[in-house]
Amino acid sequence: MSDSRASGPDAAARFHPASSLDYVPREQLRRLQSQRLKEVVSRVYDHVAFYRRRMDQLGVTPSDIRSIDDVDKLPFTLKSDLRDEYPFGLFAAPLGQIVRLHASSGTTGKPIVAAYTQHDLDVWKNVMVRTFAAAGLSEGDIVQNSYGYGLFTGGLGAHYGAEALGATVIPTSGGNTDRQIMILKDFGVTAICCTPSYFLHVLDRAAEIGIDVRHLPLRVGVFGAEPWTEAMRRRIEELAGIKAYDIYGLTEIIGPGVGAECSGQNGLHIFEDHFYPEIVDPETGRPVPEGADGELVITTLTKQAMPMLRYRSRDITAFLPGSSPSGRTLRRIRRIFHRSDDMFIVRGVNVFPSQIEEALLRVEGTLPHYQITLTRQRGLDDVDVQIEVTPELFSDRVSAMENLQQRLAKAIEQTVNIRVNVSLVEPHSIARSEGKARRVIDKRDL
């Protein structure tokens, strides 16, 4: 490899042609976005009764949309709209053209449906190739895809993207951790895709059976599908000896592939040529000042089967200023670790599980498995944080254990400004999930 290449963007990876749009000049991108917005607005106005009704209510017609700057004239789409129009009400293409359906896990009520024409699947593949390329992967990498295959978009989305990149894909899907570890080791896997909490579980298990992942060829993790923190990244990178990249996506928009980190590991580039991002005040719906925190809103510019106008993601983030170290021109958002859905309110204070995670890491430098239980007694909310004792945390002396309990409680209280009970519990006593970790159990009768 020549020196000039080594110092260039994403030096380790061979440049994939699909990535060229990551570097498109802003003015050219704007023209592309404007053109595509006009097309998608016409499409939904003509084919989706819901959008025609909403636009008529706002007195907006497709001819009012002349450039990407007109996007804020369009109506928002809420998650509840997707439920109301379940299952096929938001389709903008006849079923004959729709070649794939996915659905979100949907913890309550009906799932969210996602539909794809062949063109949509090609778009999806394209943004996933760019996702993997941004993480420094290329032809020759061996990718273990531990996202669940099935209705969940993560499995197949990552699968086709990694294949199109030219990597060797092992479709392990989720679960059966011992087999995952065996394949990781025996097949010389260089990259893994899964949720970050599941990967921590894999690392735990590997340590238990005496395998040091740092000694394996694995060098990259592509993690997403749940909010995680910078501290968790550091822990993963240290324990596994890999680079851990954050990716972003949502079923309503396409699945994974909406945004991805590059070698700078500082914010996620949104694939703006397909997904137009805005950040708004979650209360008022108005744009926040540049760089301020708000809710990410996404308009799909190229999807045919189920386009979304101004979809309210409920994810809290901010646009990052400045240019990316990799030279990509696509705007970056700060990594998402606050999802307004995860937030819980205790005694009037907004709390995110990620804050409790940060506190735990600060105290002992490790992230034990934990769960937050909310209860209400005589009108008062109680927060109980159960923390599994690890060999690093355990001592034979009672005073040391009580001290640990107090330190943990204090660190959490300082972070979230409410008093919490910390319970130390036996290892493996908190249920593990193979997919998204369930951090908060709300037993309050609200």
Partner 1 sequence: MKISQISLFLENKPGHLSSVCQTLADAGISIRTLSLADTQRFGILRLIVEDWKRAKAVLEATGCVVNVTDVVATEVEDRPGGLAALLRPLEESGVNVEYMYAFALGNKGRATMVFRFDQPDAAIEILKKSGVSVLGSVNLFRPAT
- Report the distance separating Cα 27 and Cα 324, nearest Å: 17
Q: Between residues 12 and 401, which has the closer beta carbon with respect to partner 1?
A: 401
Q: Between residues 323 and 429, which has the closer beta carbon with respect to partner 1?
A: 429
Q: Between residues 73 and 432, which has the closer beta carbon with respect to partner 1?
A: 432
How far are the Cα atoms of 145, 175, 281, 289 from residue 189, in angstroms, in the given order? Answer: 10, 17, 43, 44
| Closest distance to partner 1 from the beta carbon of 368 (Å) | 11
- Report the distance separating Cα 272 and Cα 278, nearest Å: 10
Name the one range near partner 1 by CB under 8 A: 39-47, 240-248, 326-334, 384-392.
384-392
Q: Return the residues of window 385-424 that contact partner 1 according to CB under 8 A.
A: 389-391, 394-398, 401-402, 405, 423-424
Q: Between residues 61 and 421, which has the closer beta carbon with respect to partner 1?
A: 421
Dihedrals phi, psi of 269, to nearest 5 degrees? -75, 130
Q: How many CB atoms lie within 10 A of CB 28?
A: 12
Binding mask 230-249 for partner 1 (x = CB under 8 A): --------------------
**Residue 125: CA count within 13 A, CB half-sphere:** 12
Buried b (16+ CB within 10 A) or exposed e, 154-180: bbbbbbbbbbbbebbbbbbbbeebeeb
| Closest distance to partner 1 from the beta carbon of 402 (Å) | 7
Q: Between residues 301 and 387, which has the closer beta carbon with respect to partner 1?
A: 387
For partner 1 (CB under 8 A), the number of binding residues is: 18
Residue 351 host element (H or E): strand 349-351
Burial of 298 (0-12, 13-18, 19+ CB in 10 A): buried
Peptide bond before 217: cis, by omega within 30 degrees of 0?
A: no
Q: Between residues 323 and 406, which has the closer beta carbon with respect to partner 1?
A: 406
What's the DSSP call for residue 72? Answer: G
Name the one range near partner 1 by CB under 8 A: 20-28, 96-104, 292-300, 426-434.
426-434
| Closest distance to partner 1 from the beta carbon of 405 (Å) | 8
CA angle, residues 88, 251, 281, in degrees to nearest 5: 105
Q: Which residue has the tokens 């749940």?
A: 226
| Closest distance to partner 1 from the beta carbon of 412 (Å) | 16
| Closest distance to partner 1 from the beta carbon of 360 (Å) | 17
Q: Between residues 293 and 382, which has the closer beta carbon with respect to partner 1?
A: 382
What would the two tokens of residue 275 be?
């997904």
Q: Between residues 280 and 422, which has the closer beta carbon with respect to partner 1?
A: 422
Q: Is 211 a binder of partner 1 (CB under 8 A)? A: no
Q: Is 101 a binder of partner 1 (CB under 8 A)? A: no
Residues that bind partner 1 (CB under 8 A): 389-391, 394-398, 401-402, 405, 423-429
